[in-house]
Chain A
Amino acid sequence: MIEALLFLSGEPLKLASIAKSIECEKQEAREILDELILDYQEKDGGFVLREIAGAYQFSTNEKYSEILAKLFKEKKREQLSRSSLDTLAIIAYKQPITLSEIDDIRGVSSRAMVTSLISKKLVKPVGNKEVPGRPALYGTTKEFLIHFGLNKLTDLPAPVEVKELKFENLDDLIENGQE
């Protein structure tokens, strides 16, 4: 039944609304959902069930991402530029963070980048830092999670730890993305 619901729905469904629709306890619904997610994962077919930003939804299997992106060019969403990603990475891992702290890490002014990320709804102001001038603090949004197909912020890959960088192993780092 849950499967049918999710199949019909174009929108991601929250656990609470699934439980409400089929009139059962959240706990019970969650167990069924977890089982479904596993089922599809094991099957490793054309599509999987996943939990993103706290809601459940069917989506195509990541392994076909490249080919599907080619086939559905007009539907494919745009990818972010390198400098947007630099800025976004800093915000994602260090939030809440002020503009000047971001500038400090990047070594260049990031105002334009942050503004464009806000207009893309990936970043939002989340408050003010209690220091003189009360600069705005920035954090990531729910859209950010959806954009990267994440359920929670903790699902982000671990940041690359750079300790002793020699030029030789820098290449390896870039190739393998050290865990």
Chain B
Amino acid sequence: MERENGGNSFVVQWNNSDGGITEGPLSLLWSLIESYKVDIFEVSLSQITHDFLNFIKISESIHIDIGAEYALMAANLVYLKSKALLPDPGFEEEDYDPPLPPELVEKLLEHKKFQLTAQKMSEIDKTQAGVFQRETNQVIDESESWLDLSLLDLISAFNEILEKGGEEGEIPALLTAPHRYSVEDKMVSISELLVKRSDISFEELFSTVKPEKAEIVAVFLAMLELCKQRIVSIRQHKTFGEIRIFLVGEPWNATKPA
């Protein structure tokens, strides 16, 4: 888009890839400043305000939605301009043309600094995209291939088991029926299992293939509690995605105060 303005035209790029309208008002100000071809400290505030407002007008006339940021910047510019127009005891000149206020210049410079820095980083990004590592599946240390797993993974594993779970024993029944499973019992039984074997899979914690919901919940809570007390650690295998529980601390026993 071009517009004649007192003999110098400026061009604003519309593409989104670099410095277009989508890049925000600061980038637009830069495009304007660059079109004046003067030092940033010599840019005229009224000129840039005028052009900025014009730009918004033109954008509206060709139906481009521009963000509130632009309106805010425009308002700011007009405010700064009006402030600069107030009589200043130091200046008695009729046609004093105020420069950009320092706070705006600072903002613009900071913005530019990161734009240029980002450019540098994109160079690195480009180079590194073509740097490859050897790919082998030799794993030196067995324990290295176990990842600590996130709560999300754990929840999804829990959900899987829940879906497999039997239909009997709906959770509301828990509130009325006596508890057949207590978290504490499960903590003891998980610990006992782990003492016998150094690690077990998540599924093996349940007494049956189709556990009841109540049992699943109890086991799950027990596991979290053991984890919290640093008695077990739960890890997921990098390649197989299977979740296993490892004994890391002293086995739990109910008599010992937690």
> Taking beta carbons and an 8 Å cutoff, which residues of A are in contact with B?
5, 7-13, 17, 21, 57-60, 62, 64-69, 72, 75-80, 82-83, 85-86, 88-90, 92-93, 104-109, 147-149, 156-157, 159-168, 170, 173-174, 177-178
Contacts and interface: CB of A to CB of B under 8 A. Distances in A.
Given A59-B132, A62-B127, A159-B117, A165 B112 contact: yes
B40 A165 contact: yes
B32 to A, nearest CB: 11
A107 B117 contact: no
Contacts of B24: 106-108
A9 B138 contact: yes
B117 A173 contact: no
Given A108-B69, A157-B124, A170-B34, A17 B129 contact: no
B121 interface: yes
Interface stretch (B56-64, B139-147, B207-215): B139-147
Nearest to A92: B121
Interface string B110-131: 1111111111111111111111
A105 B118 CA distance: 13
B38 interface: yes
B180 interface: no
B67 interface: yes
Interface of B: 17-18, 22-27, 33-34, 36-41, 67, 69, 73, 107, 109-141, 144
A61 to B, nearest CB: 8
A164 B131 contact: no
A75 B132 contact: yes
Contacts of A156: 121
A15 to B, nearest CB: 14
B130 A64 contact: yes
Most chain B beta carbons < 10 A, residue from A57, A58, A69, A162: A162
A71 to B, nearest CB: 9
A148 B122 CA distance: 9
Contacts of A161: 113
24 contacts: A10-B137, A10-B139, A11-B139, A65-B131, A67-B130, A69-B129, A76-B129, A77-B129, A79-B125, A85-B119, A85-B121, A85-B122, A86-B114, A89-B114, A105-B110, A106-B111, A157-B121, A162-B116, A164-B39, A165-B39, A167-B36, A167-B37, A168-B37, A173-B116
